[in-house]
Amino acid sequence: MSGSSRQLPLAGIKVLELGQLIAGPFATKLLGEFGADVIKIEPPETGDPLRKWRKIEDGTSLWWHVQSRNKRSVTLDLRSAEGQAIVRQLAAEADVIVENFRPGTLAAWGLGWETLSTLNPRLIMVHVSGYGQTGPYRDKPGFGVIGEAMGGLRYLTGQPGEPSVRVGVSIGDSLSALYAVIGTLLALQERQRSGLGQEIDVALYESVFAMMESLIPEYAADGEIRHPSGSALPGITPSNAYRCQNDDFVLIAGNGDSIFKRLMGVIGRDDLARDPALAHNDGRSRQATMIDAAIEAWTRQHPREHILKALDAARVPAGYPYTAADIAQDPHYQAREMLQSLTRPGGKPLTVPGVLPKLSATPGRLGNGGPALGQHTEDVLDELDIDQETRTKLRQAGII
């Protein structure tokens, strides 16, 4: 999937990224994939800590080349008066600022909303933080895993009676990034009508909480507290993981009424398919243990591939937990262009996830790998007409 800058829907939109690690930078990654000019501000010498997270190759995190593609890296000390002045110059020309510092940090540096919106009334400022810009917890530090816990997800993840486990990726940060992008697009649309920008306040815990379906309505109506359920999905039956003959697992989602009947036919339990008490989900959910046992009695007799073929032939949704190797070898991933190659600085190729969502007329761009630290500092200073003498002083002072 690729597109020239002229074809991309956010071409001409300038985004200033003030932040690090995951939530804010993931949001700007998405904006950059669809044409926005993303200027990423990083601390001199050290850069974004993500450069050193997870697996490192040639001195740089492989994750970095996913998270920071299509961005321009500018080194700038935001704690210095001179660095703050440059940010104000950038903000005066920017359409969007995305920041994920602790609330109040930018204001203390003279870079808060009141200051920057006065310089640029069309500016859209996106705040991503653990607990939001208001409320009694606003000043507490918050990472994605804490947001996942407070949002209700962590308690539900794991086996009943055992310690909760985390999702294997930073899902709280990523969900917050998606809400940040949605807010940005909504604000850009509103700006077309009013000519004015606005603030967007995204909290990690709220982004997770928004995914929790009927958790609160069930508690509000009946005092019911949802508890961990392992691989099952309580109240939606059957939907679970079932052990196969060779100790692999298969995931089966047979919870549609007609799908359930076809599933029962495959496993040789036409008696359950005909049982009027099991015709609909509410009745099946009352008999979930019995139904799951009947399904697993069948799956334990067969290897996983046999089970998947039989269920696919009967149009019953089924699959298995993919590893990275499974994803890399899957023909559907290839056909959908979800595995693409980009070029890292130095010319090395790297396979990375493709661009989402898929637009038919103006698809997003993959671009190159994440930039070297400060790779675009000179270019951006050129755009701001900062003279060479000033740059030399800034460099000598360690500000750029």
Both structure tokens of 191: 């700006």
Q: Domain segments of the chain: what residues?
A: 14-210+334-396, 239-243+249-319
Tens-place pLDDT, residues 59-84? 999 999 999 999 999 999 999 999 99
Q: How confident is the model at residue 155 (pLDDT cuts 50, 70, 90)?
A: very high
What's the predicted TM-score (pTM) here? 0.92
The reported pLDDT for the residue numbered 5 is 46
Residue 2 pLDDT more than 50? no
- Output the pLDDT for position 275: 98
What mean pLDDT do residues 113-130 have?
A: 98
14-210+334-396: which CATH number, 3.20.10.10, 3.40.640.10, 3.40.50.300, 3.40.50.10540? 3.40.50.10540
Which of the following is catalytic: 173, 222, 292, 330? 173
More confident call, 5 vs 381: 381
At residue 1 the predicted structure's pLDDT band, cuts being 50, 70 and 90, is: very low
Q: Please, where are the H alpha helices in 230-384?
A: 257-266, 270-274, 281-286, 288-299, 304-313, 324-329, 331-335, 377-383
Mean pLDDT of 182-202: 98
Q: Considering the chain, what percentage of its residues have pLDDT values greater than 70?
A: 98
Do the Cβ atoms of 173 and 98 come closer than 8 Å? no
Instruction: Tell me the pLDDT of the chain averaged across its residues.
Output: 95
Q: For the segment 264-286, what is each residue's pLDDT rounded down to a tens digit? A: 999 999 999 999 999 999 999 99
Q: Quick one: pLDDT at residue 6? A: 55
Residue 382 known to be catalytic: no
Asked if 107 contacts 118 with a C-beta cutoff of 8 angstroms, the reply is no
Give the pLDDT of residue 394: 96
Strands, E, within 137-182: which ranges? none
DSSP-based three-state secondary structure for 36: coil
pLDDT confidence bin for 201, thresholds 50/70/90: very high
Q: Which residues pair with 56 in a beta bridge?
A: 61
Q: What average pLDDT does this structure show over 130-142?
A: 95
The pairing of strands 14-18 and 37-42 is parallel
pLDDT in tens, 202-245: 999 999 999 999 999 999 999 999 999 989 988 999 999 999 99
Higher pLDDT, 163 or 51: 51
- Answer with the residue of higher pLDDT: 319 or 163: 319
Class of domain 239-243+249-319: alpha beta
